[in-house]
Structure 1
Amino acid sequence: MTNEIVAKFGLGQIVRHREAAFRGVVIDVDPVFAGQPGETGAISPDQPFYQVLALGDEGGFIAYASEDSLEQDPELVAMTRDAEQRWFTVDANGRHAPRSQAIH
């Protein structure tokens, strides 16, 4: 029997990290950890992991985070309109995607 893993967050969804104090947009999803065994430490590798285009004080960066460490970001207004237009395309439903990638 195969275990089906369902990701909580989708491409283009804005999330924030519970501990690392960054927010960003989901740009890729792995159903389980895609690195080497043992690299996650105490974090279970048997959960979805997300690549997040994060926005910080120094600009944008890519973060790789477990589903347990992310939450939906209710403070969408924290992103300025200028930042939104610079980094993302936005569809009619408000989903964000990096300008370099199409919204799926």
Structure 2
Amino acid sequence: MKQGQAKFQIGQVVRHRVFPFRGVIFDVDPEYANTDEWWNSIPEEIRPRKDQPFYHLLAENAETEYVAYVSEQNLLPDESGVPLRHPQVAHAFEQVQHGFYRPKAITAH
């Protein structure tokens, strides 16, 4: 499989191209790195390619907050400027500008 360079970066706010949710990226896999069970649970007609970056998001929709795993082809930059309400965002990030968060420094003991 050919690996591509990630289009989005950690701390960037993105939204799903099809489904009504958005979130902040907290990790990136250069290509698909989840289970076969998860992959096969996606309907074949909308199943993304595995040979592209996949993003881990602190995600939210109108009803709830959760962690999502999304292919690059299904993400767009979120330019709404609305702060995320996901409770883990404040623990891991500081908002620095419209559409971007900076990871907080980790203190080791």
TM-score, normalised to structure 1, is: 0.72
Distance 2:99 2:50 in 1: 30
Measure, in 2, the Cα distance between the counterparts of 1:33 and 1:17.
17
Cα distance between partner residues in 1 of 2:4 and 2:61? 30
Q: Give 2:100's aligned residue.
A: 95
Aligned partner of residue 58 in structure 2, secondary structure: strand
Q: Provide Cα deviations, 1:15-58, integer angstroms capped at 9, x if missing partner.
A: 00011110110011000000245826431100000011112233
2:67 aligned counterpart, secondary structure = strand
What is the Cα-based RMSD across aligned positions, in Å? 3.1
**In 2: Cα distance, 1:94 partner to 1:73 partner:** 6
Aligned counterpart, 1:33: 32
Which residue in the other structure is 2:68 paired with? Answer: 63
Gap change, CA 1:47 and 1:4, over 3 Å in 2: closer
Question: Does residue 10 of structure 1 match 2:15?
Answer: no
Q: What is the number of residues matched between the two proteins? A: 96
Question: 2:19 maps to which residue?
Answer: 20
Gaps of 5+ in 2: none
Report percent identity of matched pairs.
35
Given the superposition, is the C-alpha separation of residues 85 and 94 from structure 1 closer, same or farther in structure 2, using an over 3 Å criterion?
A: farther
Q: Return the alpha-carbon distance in structure 1 between the equivalents of residues 101 and 87 of structure 2.
A: 10
Distance 1:35 1:5, change over 3 A: same
Q: For structure 1, which runs of at least 5 residues remain unmatched after alignment? A: none
